[in-house]
Amino acid sequence: MTTDQSNDPNSTWADFRRRMPVTEHWAYFDHAAVAPLSGPAQEAIRQWADDAACHGDVNWGQWESRLRDVRCAGAKLIGADPGEVALVRNTTEGISLVAEGFPWRPGDNVVTLADEFPSNQYPWMNLAGRGVETRRVDLVDGRVSLDAVAAACDDRTRILTVSWIGYASGWRIDVAEVARIAHDHGGYLFLDAIQGLGAFPLNVKTAGVDFLAADGHKWMLGPEGAGLFYVRRELLDVLRPLGVGWNSVKHAHDFQHIELTLKDTAARYEGGTYNTGGLVGLGASLDLLMECGIDRIGARILEITDLACRRLTDVGAEIASCREPAYASGIVSFTLPDRDPAAVRRQCAERGVAVNCRAGRIRISPHAYVNEEDVERLIGALVE
């Protein structure tokens, strides 16, 4: 983008849209499930595949350099140091690094929300055999009560783990306030950030996040199987390292030197070979997003979802997601009276509009490149 474009919001979003090939085929409202690849990600993956096909591993050093750039971009996205970021396959892997690596004692507990995505429930519930209780706090009408969260914590709460944004409700939490609750009880905050990274700004330092994970295939516009894991540097040695392999040690490329001297960074969790193609694609999308500006992307997403909510209300939809500015996100769930959500989804798909269903409702999740014409295509598909 040129400097002039960067000062013109309309030009910014038009340019962003031109770099999303999906817009030629779909009005895409399903980034909370699996996002389409950005054009830069598509090209980066293609170039890597061509290189690997034509040259084998001859240029592996260049790939490794690019992966360092991706780690740095991920760190910049969340306000962390690159040494605190590991490149992982998915959110579940990041959650499991903490759930299985934390020094639990019988009688400890984990506090989470009852409507968390399964990946942020099962790894913690799986600790029951080690004497660790998982406490699940109910929501009321899709709203998170921080008082209820705090009441569920006690002096044996080791981890408070929540999603930044609820995958079904779209509720966006106050990350700093939840971190304060965890720390006030002597515990740590694990943030499942998959529904927020790439859509809204976050600084893990000022917010007080201790651990974080997010796959790149939603709002970061990357491919599946390429994500980020953050651990606050002071906590590196708190976790028992899992998945240890040749790439976990300081002398990673000296295969004849067998000495378990772990890297003093989060890269110790990377273990073996990378999903290089996926990660270079993720890196290209991160570059695009930061070029647009994450602050501006967040504001644009709220603008386009507010418009969608107004138009949905015009045609009789009942909006279930909270749209108060402090809690609103890019996820909007709604119902249409006497309409089956699955049938509505099929009807939209037949008309080139991608939506989804969650918790018995229709769910839309547009990114910043989605425009007013896309919203009208959505409305048209719903009422035809």
Whole-number Å distance between alpha carbons of 15 and 5? 8
Nearest residue to 378 (alpha-carbon basis) of 125, 266, 356: 356
Number of domains the chain contains: 2
Last residue of a domain, one of 260, 290, 320: 290
End-to-end CA distance of the chain: 38
User: pTM of the full predicted structure?
Assistant: 0.95
| 188-192/332-335 β-pairing | unpaired
Is residue 38 included in any domain, yes or no?
Answer: no
Residue 384: the pLDDT is 80
* Burial class for 260, CB neighbours closer than 10 Å (0-12, 13-18, 19+): exposed
Residues 99 and 139 in one domain: yes
Nearest residue to 86 (alpha-carbon basis) of 228, 207, 211: 228
Cα-atom radius of gyration of the chain, to the nearest Å? 21
Residues 107 and 80 in one domain: yes
pLDDT in tens, the chain (384 residues): 443 444 666 789 999 999 999 999 999 999 999 999 999 999 999 999 999 999 999 999 999 999 999 999 999 999 999 999 999 999 999 999 999 999 999 999 999 999 999 999 999 999 999 999 999 999 988 899 999 999 999 999 999 999 999 999 999 999 999 999 999 999 999 999 999 999 999 999 999 999 999 999 999 999 999 999 999 999 999 999 999 999 999 999 999 999 999 999 999 999 999 999 999 999 999 999 999 999 999 999 999 999 999 999 999 999 999 999 999 999 999 999 999 999 999 999 999 999 999 999 999 999 999 999 999 999 999 998
Is residue 354 included in any domain, yes or no?
Answer: yes
Domain that holds residue 232: 46-290
β-pair partners for 110: 134, 159
Residues 263 and 137 in one domain: yes
Q: Which residues contact 366 (CB under 8 A, 6 or more apart)?
A: 28, 29, 31, 301, 304, 305, 308, 330, 374, 375
Give backbone dihedrals phi and psi of 374, rounded to 5 degrees, phi first. -65, -40
What is the CATH number for 309?
A: 3.90.1150.10
What is the CATH number for 272?
A: 3.40.640.10
Nearest residue to 272 (alpha-carbon basis) of 66, 123, 88: 88
Residues 318 and 214 in one domain: no
Last residue of a domain, one of 271, 290, 309: 290
Residues 23 and 59 in one domain: no
Nearest residue to 307 (alpha-carbon basis) of 376, 355, 358: 376
Length of the chain (residues):
384
Residues 230 and 84 in one domain: yes
Residue 140: the pLDDT is 87
Residues 115 and 223 in one domain: yes
Residues 267 and 312 in one domain: no
Last residue of a domain, one of 258, 290, 322: 290
Residues 265 and 174 in one domain: yes
Residue 10: the pLDDT is 77
Instruction: Judge contact between 303 and 152, C-beta under 8 A.
Output: no
Residues 276 and 301 in one domain: no
Residues 240 and 378 in one domain: no
